[in-house]
Amino acid sequence: MPVPKRKTKNRFATALQPETDGRRAEATRIAKEVLIGKLRDRCAVSGYRLESRKGGLNREDDRFTLHVPDGKDLVEVPLSWSNVAELRRTVQAVASGIEWLGDRSAFAEMGQGYIEAAIRAVRPEVDLPSWVAAYTYRVDPDLFPDVTTKPDSARRFQPFTTPNQGRMTARNDRLGIFVEISAPSIMAEVLQHRLHGPFLRSSAWAGQAYFATIKIWRPAGIRDRDHAVALLDKVTRSTSYELDVSFSAGFELCERPVWPPDSYDLVNEPKNERMSVHQPLTLTLNEYSQDGLSYYWHARQSESIPVMEYLNYYQVLEYHFAQYALARTLEFARQKLKDPRFDPANSESLTRFVNAIGDQVKSKGTDFPGLLATLEHCIDVDQLADFIESDDDLRSHLTKKTIPGVPQVVTAQRDQLVERMARRIHGIRNTLVHAKGENRNEGSFILVPGSAEMRHLVQEIKLARFAAQSVLIASSVSAKHSRDFD
């Protein structure tokens, strides 16, 4: 039986390895410097602004920021390079006229007729935090295996391959449009901080999340940014709905992450700093409205669906309209009965009194008058002001004209604070429920799910939640008035 030859190491090759690695690293460094020079030149010729910046997000080459056109505005985009291919691809993107597409996590290369946008699942994974699920979508590889080998719409743009991530392709030959949903392309990786945010790739959840983009290629070209936005909207609406009908795999476009982020942890996800509390806590044993609490808990359980969450908080308020309308009416009646000019024996005087009471009941028990009566009775102005001032994002949002048709809420105006809060909550509620086909060109405004304006609902929910909590507390029965604890 022949004895197998023993494998021996090539000592000469091993000795040369450090030298070979050193030469390779030097060649890479030189190639990067040459490409950075080309990028600077290309930006200067094309009117892009490229800036050097200090530090990075755990990547050696996070050293540059590109200001990408977005209509009349510029979007600051930190560039993230880990190899020469990504740098080369950035030069090509600038040469082909890259532009950002509004508040979406989306960009277009006009010269290539190419659009790419980050997408998220309509039904997010329940085991992922909301801030991760907001940028996560998985293409089921069993349904859509990545088997294509010839270069086509997205292969042209060199997408990465991701384990357990499939690749969905579609085409319309008559209109000349090709679509792919797959892992982010090389250029999307370069722009990752404004597509998926700075937290995700360096967080503990990165290994459990799936990142995908929709890629749209129109060889005939894209006329301008407005054409790109319209094409993106029409293609995503149609594709998402049909994927959901056929495979329960609907998606929606992600919103562009804020940059620079207010705060971030380079290793772990964002944390809420909380101080330990003094115990034991005070056990109030207040008796809260059972039906009001049902609406409140429904709202808390609907946090993944902001519209439903907001409307359920409003239902907490609406549930108490009749209670505080009656309280207002009784107070009105007491004031009238104290008036020495009121003569109960006079039919005309009594008729006026009864009609006035009827008007009070009708007005205070519905919509805005009922809401205002409820909030004025339940909201402590100083508590409301402190709540708004304690949240920088909320305070800033409420002082800006971010949503048409609702008043600003400024804590310095204490005498108007509750009324403005009521008008704002009522206005937001109307924009959500009165979607009857109006549009802003006809002088009205509605908050449509998926729209750029809808992102402001996150801040509005904070105000509605505070109002609902305050009303439930003010409407509760103290334990000392309950016989259950006698």
Using 50, 70 and 90 to split pLDDT, how confident is the model at 57?
A: very low
Query: How many CB atoms sit inside 10 A of residue 191's CB?
Result: 26
User: Amino acid identity, residue 76?
Assistant: E
Burial class (CB in 10 A: 0-12, 13-18, 19+), 444: middle
Task: Give the pLDDT score at 451.
Answer: 67
Region 441-463: mean pLDDT is 73
pLDDT in tens, 466-478: 999 999 999 888 7
pLDDT tens digits, residue range 249-261? 889 899 888 777 6
Could you tell me which residue, 56 or 111, shows the higher pLDDT? 111
Cα 321 from chain centre: 32
Strands of the sheet with 73-79, listed across from one edge = 49-52, 64-70, 73-79
Is it the case that residue 98 has pLDDT exceeding 60? yes
Position 347 scores a pLDDT of 67
Which helix (H) or strand (E) segment is 288 a member of? none
Q: Is 484 helix (H, G, I), strand (E, B) or coil?
A: helix
* 472, 293 Cβ separation under 8 angstroms: yes
Q: Give, as one character, the DSSP assignment of residue 6.
A: P
For 482, phi and psi rounded to 5 degrees? -100, 135
Mean pLDDT of the chain: 78
Q: What is the pLDDT of residue 206?
A: 62
CA 208 to chain centre: 20
Residue 114 pairs in a beta bridge with: 109, 217
Q: What DSSP string describes 355-389?
A: HHHHHHHHHHTSHHHHHHHHHHHH--HHHHHHHHH
The predicted-structure confidence for 281-338, as pLDDT tens digits, reads as follows: 777 778 888 898 899 999 998 887 888 999 999 999 999 888 777 666 555 556 666 6
Query: What's the sign of the alpha-carbon dihedral 226, 159, 94, 86?
Result: positive
Two tokens at 423?
A: 């008008």
pLDDT at 274: 54
Asked if the model's pLDDT at residue 272 lies above 80, the reply is: no
The neighbouring-strand residues paired with 74 are 69
Q: Which pLDDT does position 152 carry in this prediction?
A: 44
DSSP string, 129-147: -HHHHTT-----TTTS---
Element (H, E) at 422: helix 417-433
Average pLDDT over residues 436-453: 57
Q: What are the two backbone dihedrals, phi and then psi, of residue 458, each rounded to the nearest 5 degrees?
A: -60, -45
pLDDT digits (tens, 9 = 90+) for 140-175: 888 888 765 444 444 444 444 455 678 899 989 888
Residue ranges of domains in the chain: 30-253, 290-485
> If you average pLDDT over residues 98-127, what whole number do you get?
88
Distance CA 32, CA 26 (A): 10
CB 407 within 8 A of CB 386: no
Average pLDDT on 73-78 reads 88
Greater confidence (116 vs 21) lies with: 116
The confidence score (pLDDT) of residue 82 equals 76
Q: Answer whether residue 109 shows pLDDT above 80.
A: yes
Q: Which residue has the higher pLDDT, 345 or 78?
A: 78
Give the model's confidence band at 404: pLDDT under 50 very low, under 70 low, under 90 confident, else very high. confident
Tell me the average pLDDT across 101-124. Answer: 91
pLDDT tens, position by position, 210-241: 889 999 999 999 999 999 999 998 999 889 98
Per-residue confidence (pLDDT) for residue 311, from 0 to 100: 94
